[in-house]
Structure 1
Amino acid sequence: MSGGGTSTRTPTDAETTREAARSGARRGPGGPMGGMGMPAEKALDFSGSLRRFAAVMRPERARVVVLTLFGVISVALTVAGPKILGEATNVIFRGVVGTMLGGQVPAGTPVEDVVAGLRAQGEDQMADMLAGMTGVVVGRGVDTGELVTVLAWAAGVYLAAFVFGWLQARITAVAVQNTMRRLREDVEAKLHRIPLSYVDKQRRGEILSRVTNDIDNASQTATQTLAQLVTSLLTVVGVLAMMFWISWILALVALVTVPLSVVITMQIAKRSQPQFIRQWSSTGKLNAHIEEMFTGHSLVRVYGQQRAAAETFAEENERLHTATRNAQFISGTMQPSMGFIGNLNYVVIAVVGGLRVASGQLSIGDVQAFIQYSRQFTQPLTQVASMMNLLQSGVASIERVFDLLDAPEQEPDPARPVAPGDGGPVRGRVVFEGVEFAYDPDSPLIRGLDLTAEPGQTVAIVGPTGAGKTTLVNLLMRFYEVNAGRITLDGVDTRDMTREALRGSIGMVLQDTWLFKGTIEDNLRYGVRHEITDDEFLEATRATHVDPFVRTLPGGYETEIDDEGTSLSAGEKQLLTIARAFLADPEILVLDEATSSVDTRTEVLVQEAMHRLRQGRTAFVIAHRLSTIRDADVILVMEHGDIVEQGSHDELLAAGGAYARLYASQFAAPVSGGEETPAPA
């Protein structure tokens, strides 16, 4: 498997040091990661996150302008509707009044004469109301033609408002989904730029939750609120203008309740905001637990930890339930509260409006329109208030995504990279010069390490767990950067090369196998950088003893496997990764306990294949089973990050040092009498 498709794992020889780093990262703001991944412990920057999201949407500004324009047109038409319907009410009311007057005075009598007669009779209130009406003809009923015309205008206005509103919704959906596509692309690119140290300090389920759940929630929030917010704000402005046009006194009465609405909205939002932060933080933690338990479900059963896992799930689920319930309950009080204020406003307007109609200062159609406007005025306020829970939830999610995008990145590739061997074939001479490294600055792991691996040489690295073996390989691959010293490939500092160029010449076979969902052939060809023939493909699979067991499968090389390879044994998965390295044909080979999962007989065959694979290549072999590295050109013995011994197998045994003790511990066995059999030479 070439570097471009390499899968990495947490170095098992540095677990103690790494756990210390993790613990420091989770202590909160004082830790190395500043509390990364724990948004519930810090305040939500609501306005700042909204501004940043607006910046992310900047490429869609043309669509935003268009949807805003359509929103203005739709709102203007919608606002005109009640006024037109009020005119229809006036047409009907004029007809009713004209018919009533026709039964009391001769038809065609001027309205002014009727008003004067009413005043002479002392009916001043009725006279004022009739004087305030226009278009009344004594003896004439409802003008059907005028009424139909007015209603047709109203229907046309509302239909046009619907069309523009529909177009606005469509454009909003396109703008939001384009933005979310770019945001997912940014997150995907970010995941390739963050260092392995960041990934090691996070639970995988937590990162997955940010990439999937949080982005989906932000998408849903933006889709539901963007156009609605624009429409609501425009509606408030338009309706307010119409209300002042009809009656400034009634408009001021309606505005009395606005400050109360604002205060209630702010108080509810203030209390629900922390609950939404806890909700999405708990979602991430619950996803992380589920992902871990599902991945390791076999071990959970083997060690009888089903009940413990279920209890942990119940605790995390209860935290999520509590946070979600509190968030929804608190934010859910917003709409009924605003509804109560709207009803209170409606009663006041109805009473005051009725008095002004009776005094002839307003027509009944204007009062009807004003009541509709008062509903339209409070409705967007209620909608905005009810959207606050969506906004808070969405902003909490988008801030978690921004936290991931703001995570520290690995050092960028050099602007003018250097290729080993002046761009020619990589020879594979690897040199460590005074390399120093520590996962935790307070606990140095590797100090002043010097090592030279000549082209075509096999270098075996042995030592106890935690000695720094896998760390050495991670430094070579630049999964971690050295703190001091340098590593060169064919005389070129690896930091002067692009990571792609460096890893493209290195193939890895790890103890922890990695397969993806697809066919066996797809997995084997993963990372192959050049065209290979079917004969070359079969030659590699036969050399690694993959071909025999694959042909026993129902689909052969087209057999579908899942990402865990559950249909294959551990040894078969290991053989597939070894064959993948064969096909990648790298110049440098890294074998990290590559035969740990195969049986003894297969191990012998694989060792022969590995020997052929290593011919002409620089190979680094990390091994615990020392029998697998006896033919290595150089064996390095590491303890506490230092190379304490190096030499061939025979030389190190003869020296009787650390290697000899390791070898004896594996091959010497106690016999009766307490004596030990001598270690084989």
Structure 2
Amino acid sequence: MTIVFGSSTRSVSSYGSSRQDHNEAVTQDINHLVLWFVYLFVARFVCGYVGTLCICTAAVRTTKALRKRFLERLLRQEITHFDVEGGGSVASQVTTNGNRIHLGISEKLYTCAIGISMFFSAFVVALVVQWKLALITMSIVPGIILACGACVGAIIPIEAKLGQLYSQAGIIAQDALGSMKTILAFGAQGKIVSMYDEYLRAAHRVGKKKAIIFGVLFASQTFFTLAGTALAFWEGARLYQSGEIADVGKVITIILSVTLGATSVLFFLPQLEAIANASSAAAELFFIIDKPSTLDPLSSTGNRPETCTGDIEINDLSFSYPTRPGVPVLHNLNLKMPAGKTTALVGPSGCGKSTIVGLLEQWYQPTSGQIFIDGQDIADLNINWLRSQVRLVQQEPTLFQGSIADNVAKGFVGMQKTLPDDSQRQLIQKACKDAGAHGFIQQLPHGYDTQLGEGARMLSGGQRQRIAIARTIVSDPRILLFDEATSALDSRAEKTVQAALDQVSIGKTTLIIAHKLATVMAADNIAVMVNGSVIEQGNHRELIHRDGLYAAMVRAQKLGAEGTEDAAQVNVEPHIHENLKTTKEKDINVPSATERLNLLNANDKKLAVQPSTVETIHASMLKCAFIILAENSNVYLWYFLLGLSYVCVGGTYAIQAVLLSRLIGAFNERNATARHDANFYSLMLFVLALANLLGYFCIGMTCNALGNTFTYRYRKEMLQRILDMDQDFFDSPENASGSLTAKLSSVPDAIEEIMSQNLGLLMNIVINIISSSVLGIAYGWKLGLTLVATGLPLVVGSGYIRVRLDQRLETTTERQYSKSASLATEAIMSIRTVSLLTLESAVLDEYSKCLDSISRDIVRSLVVTLFPYSFSQSAEFLVMGLGFWYGSRLVASGEYTSQQFFTIFIAIIFGGQAAAQFFTWTTSITKATGAANYMLWLRTIRNTVRDIPENGGKAPQDSTFHVALDDVQFSYRQRKASHVIQGISLDIEPGKFAAFVGSSGCGKSTIISLIQRFYDPISGRIVVDDYDIRQFSPSLYRRSMSLVQQEPPLYLGSVRQNVALGLDYEPSADEIHEACRQANILDFVSSLPEGLNTPCGPHGTHFSGGQRQRIAVARAVIRRPRLLLLDEATSALDTQSERAVQAALDGAVLTRTTIAVAHRLSTIKNADVIFVIEDGRIVEQGTHGELLTLKGRYYAMCLAQSFGEG
């Protein structure tokens, strides 16, 4: 282009020297050169389209491959990695880092490559035309390289540190979003945001270090390039005057090449931050990708025996968790589990029972000792083969998004996966029948095809457990491990499932871990563990006869040698069969599960979605920008400095046009005046470079400071707003925790990008266009107006079309990327379930299909959207051709001087290039607009349960709660026609202990949720102290109560932080100690090296289930609640701990109203009133003794648990 431009300049300049003799020949020459501009347009259009399509396609595929590889390597890691690092940040890592890499290696890299190629090609042309001048001008290159290298080298470690901090923040957010009922119950939104804020503040401090670096980066490059242009003109004039350069066209070609080389830096200068970000993001991903794993579940190494009989022997086994190497868990353990026999492990919480399961599953490697299966050390076995032979049902079952059939099918191994669909369905149904799940599944809206949603939250704990059991036994494994497998079941369901487990265990090696000793009485061998060692073992009769620890535990649970009541033998045998006959399958599997799952079915597109879950904000980019600016008055000074800098810098383009036209004019003569003019205007160009040095330093520093501020503010605000949503919001499938965690990273990042560097760049472009257009029209309105009126509409129109197409693509891909992020997060958050089911390959396949679909959609869209984009980037050559053609005629006719023509032409070309450059940022603009709209949409949501003027500041005042339900009916907002609670009325007097019992899924936990006002009933009312609870402030109302759940979540932080989670003040050490003492956890915590400051680990993985439960009890009692809600509060505790905690809770009951949900009836036999729930209705109520006298439903449950009047 510079050669054509130089030749055209020579031709236009020749009008002034020989107008009469050469006008016709010059005009023909210009016409010929104008055609070259058309050829250049075609070449750039084609090459730009093909090049952009290729690099964007390559970027999509590269990013896709990186995402897949990252998840694959993550799934290959040993469990220790997740104990230390956690998995909650996977959404942030995959989404945010993936997006940054894609941005850095697609259009940003392509634009940077164009700028760099322009830079070097310009100097190549200059070297060919006049090597001496080119070499002198190239002296600026080392300065640019040194500046760029030093700055980028300083930025990369800062970005890496930022990535680590945001990853830790992501774990906190993921944990909270995955357990919102706990967060709402304890009013812990502020605590979670505060913990999140600690990492954000740290990141904010680290991010500030980049401001000066980017200021230096921006300033140095623009200074060197513009100073190089001044040097080129100064030296070029000297060489021209001395005759070393004879042709003015060649001089202009060289000068223009240098000018283009200088201005080309503006193409790749703004891209360097995106490329640096991509580099640091890639480093974070490659840290995992390159991390070796000693227990790789996808490795093909290791022995794969043809058969497995299941004989297990543990020799001198010792173990300490890598997170607490100084705390031994197992001590020289020796244990034999003969093939085909059932072995049970019992003992207090934390004694090492579940640790043995982890070692059998090869989640960990023992510190010393060995485990043998069929005489082979499991360390020598292939991990995938081992886990396919050893199947585990955990205490806290994890189900995945998808249908019930899909979840059960995840238990298939080997050839089962290749069976026809009908055969697979038969196996699934058989497993569900054996697990006692078939009945309630049949009553669901779509049976086995019913969609469960994230975490299957719409199912009760018992229903989830039965599906998990079916998933375990569907493959008919040789070794079965049951870690509290029936702890979540009601008595009747437990009896059914236990019978099924006894049946499927026949002929298999079975290991049972249990606190409820009734479930292990039939075991062939029972090993009693204390402090990591087996202290006694034998069958039930033998251990009872020895009268040791096991016998004491049995007495504590009031079970005799035959499993009947010791204290007061009740003659219940004649009634057993009669009552159990009336307990049909429908009594266990009630329609409430059907009602819960109406929303999540295979035809969810047809479902009505509540208005608050539909994104309805579609504000334009400018409106979003104005809203964001209006609410950030603290950055107005930064924006003033940025605007002032860009006004100054943007105005220099017009000044450059004037100076360059003057310099071109200085080459028309060889005399002292021309030499003086060249020296003066070169000096002015150097002064302009100094001005740009200051301006771009302010721009680089200010843009980074603004970006850092916006990232901090909107990450924090977004988490605050999401945590403040009511439970309805989180019940919607599109608001899965993985998707929301991904948005916590991507939305603020997109807003930051457009509101900092990109907004400043757009300001620069607008100022450039305006100043250049005004200058061109002012110097000569005919040519100026012609170029502006024809060139800008072409560029802007084609660019606008691309923006609209990009917005459509962004909307589609955002949904799909959210889905893939949710899938990856779900797998990593449930990594133990994934590993024990050997689902790593299945997860990768599903993730790959999702990414492949996204990739195809993006590439198909690029084929269309790049047409207008390429046109907008090429149209400047058409404008150039038009300018030379029309301008040469104006010069030929004498209307314009050549200097006037060049001033107008250069000014308009600068403006055209700026307009074209604007549309290289359309992808960022589209993403930022969508992100801002999402943030604005979150602000528009009005929760049903919220503080309003009518209830603001109101809370229950009495010291105890009087709770009453008056004809309450309830259905979930998304399916109002299906009632989960059907006309319940009850009265719980102040200070009384009330209990809800019933089969799994009958609505017990729903009542607890209604009392906590997670939802409002559709009719009837809930009254506390004679006030409808809707008259209370929800947050103040919940401060009066505490919840202990069946599966208590713990959060990233110390034991102290978790116990104090529900307090709005910092408790003293004595308060925490007392709460821990009441929960029977104080001695254990005190024995840890760091005491109360011991980290709980991601999701509380540093502690056993029982230990987590006791920390949750401490968290509840420290609030001194007036209403205590216990949802299977002691289900995970061993007998000794249960009695201690139950005694503490019994003491707490005396001073407050207590409502308990329980399957283990021994825990609620002292309740003042027991409500038996069925089908969302109360069918019986009374005290324990009264209900036994009725010999109805409650009586049948007692029989099932061998529990009588005592």
State the TM-score bracket (shorter-chain normalisation).
Answer: 0.7 to 0.9
One-letter amino acid matched to 1:466: G
Determine what percentage of the aligned residue pairs are the same residue: 22
Quickly say closer, same or farther: Cα 1:162–1:45, change in 2 above 3 A.
Answer: farther
Quickly say closer, same or farther: Cα 1:228–1:531, change in 2 above 3 A.
Answer: closer
- Correspondence 1:477 to 2:1049: no
Q: CA deviation at 1:625?
A: 1.4
CA contact (8 A) 2:994 2:1155 kept: yes
Distance 1:355 1:532 in 2: 86
Correspondence for 2:850? 316
Secondary structure at the counterpart of residue 763 of structure 2: helix
CA contact (8 A) 2:595 2:979 kept: no
Quickly say closer, same or farther: Cα 1:207–1:65, change in 2 above 3 A.
Answer: same
Match of residue 879, structure 2, among 335, 342, 345? 345
Distance 2:186 2:799 in 1: 55
Secondary structure at the counterpart of residue 667 of structure 1: coil
Structure 1: gaps spanning 5 or more residues: 97-139, 669-678
Correspondence for 1:27? 605
Distance 2:1053 2:955 in 1: 37
CA contact (8 A) 1:193 1:410 kept: no
Quickly say closer, same or farther: Cα 1:157–1:289, change in 2 above 3 A.
Answer: same
Instruction: Count matched residues.
Output: 620
- Equivalences for residues 380-529 of structure 1 within 5 A: 380-415=914-949, 417=951, 423=957, 425-439=958-972, 440-528=975-1063
Quickly say closer, same or farther: Cα 1:533–1:192, change in 2 above 3 A.
Answer: closer
Correspondence for 1:130? none
CA contact (8 A) 2:954 2:1033 kept: no
- Correspondence 1:149 to 2:680: yes
Match of residue 815, structure 2, among 270, 281, 289? 281
CA contact (8 A) 1:632 1:649 kept: yes
CA contact (8 A) 1:12 1:470 kept: no
Q: Which runs of 4+ in 1 moved over 6 A?
A: 6-9, 418-422
CA contact (8 A) 2:613 2:729 kept: no
Q: CA deviation at 1:635?
A: 0.7
CA contact (8 A) 1:75 1:161 kept: no
- Correspondence 1:204 to 2:734: no
- Equivalences for residues 19-418 of structure 1 within 5 A: 19-23=597-601, 26-27=604-605, 31-33=608-610, 36=613, 45=618, 47=620, 50-60=622-632, 62=636, 67-93=642-668, 95-96=669-670, 140-161=671-692, 163-164=694-695, 166-168=697-699, 170-171=701-702, 178=709, 181-201=712-732, 202-254=735-787, 255-326=789-860, 330-332=864-866, 336-354=870-888, 356-357=890-891, 360-415=894-949, 417=951
One-letter amino acid matched to 1:57: L
Quickly say closer, same or farther: Cα 1:259–1:419, change in 2 above 3 A.
Answer: closer
Once the two structures are superposed, residues 614-662 of structure 1 have per-residue CA deviations (whole angstroms, 9 ceiling, x without a partner) of: 2211111100111221111111101111111111111101101111122
Quickly say closer, same or farther: Cα 1:75–1:420, change in 2 above 3 A.
Answer: closer
Secondary structure at the counterpart of residue 564 of structure 1: helix
Correspondence for 2:596? 18
Secondary structure at the counterpart of residue 584 of structure 1: coil
Q: CA deviation at 1:282?
A: 1.5
Q: CA deviation at 1:26?
A: 4.5
TM-score (norm 2): 0.48
Q: CA deviation at 1:564?
A: 0.9
One-letter amino acid matched to 1:272: D
Quickly say closer, same or farther: Cα 1:420–1:214, change in 2 above 3 A.
Answer: closer
Distance 1:419 1:58 in 2: 30
Quickly say closer, same or farther: Cα 1:391–1:331, change in 2 above 3 A.
Answer: farther
Once the two structures are superposed, residues 190-239 of structure 1 have per-residue CA deviations (whole angstroms, 9 ceiling, x without a partner) of: 32442201111131122222332122123213334322222222222221
CA contact (8 A) 2:1123 2:1152 kept: yes
One-letter amino acid matched to 1:379: Q
Distance 1:604 1:650 in 2: 21
Q: CA deviation at 1:86?
A: 1.5
Quickly say closer, same or farther: Cα 1:301–1:494, change in 2 above 3 A.
Answer: same
CA contact (8 A) 2:945 2:1015 kept: no
Q: CA deviation at 1:563?
A: 3.1
Distance 1:24 1:237 in 2: 56
CA contact (8 A) 2:799 2:869 kept: no
TM-score (norm 1): 0.82
Distance 1:367 1:421 in 2: 79
One-letter amino acid matched to 2:1012: M
Quickly say closer, same or farther: Cα 1:230–1:529, change in 2 above 3 A.
Answer: closer
Correspondence for 1:108? none
Quickly say closer, same or farther: Cα 1:481–1:159, change in 2 above 3 A.
Answer: same
One-letter amino acid matched to 1:59: E
CA contact (8 A) 1:428 1:618 kept: yes
Once the two structures are superposed, residues 248-273 of structure 1 have per-residue CA deviations (whole angstroms, 9 ceiling, x without a partner) of: 34335524343333443244334333
Secondary structure at the counterpart of residue 31 of structure 1: coil
Quickly say closer, same or farther: Cα 1:331–1:60, change in 2 above 3 A.
Answer: farther
CA contact (8 A) 1:77 1:158 kept: no
- Correspondence 1:3 to 2:186: yes
CA contact (8 A) 1:83 1:366 kept: no
Higher mean Cα deviation, 240-249 or 362-371? 362-371
Quickly say closer, same or farther: Cα 1:228–1:609, change in 2 above 3 A.
Answer: same
CA contact (8 A) 2:996 2:1172 kept: yes
Q: CA deviation at 1:46?
A: 5.9
Correspondence for 1:545? 1080
CA contact (8 A) 1:511 1:592 kept: yes
Secondary structure at the counterpart of residue 1201 of structure 2: helix
Distance 2:1191 2:458 in 1: 29
CA contact (8 A) 1:510 1:592 kept: yes
* Root-mean-square deviation over aligned CA pairs: 3.2
Distance 2:1165 2:886 in 1: 101
Distance 1:190 1:229 in 2: 30
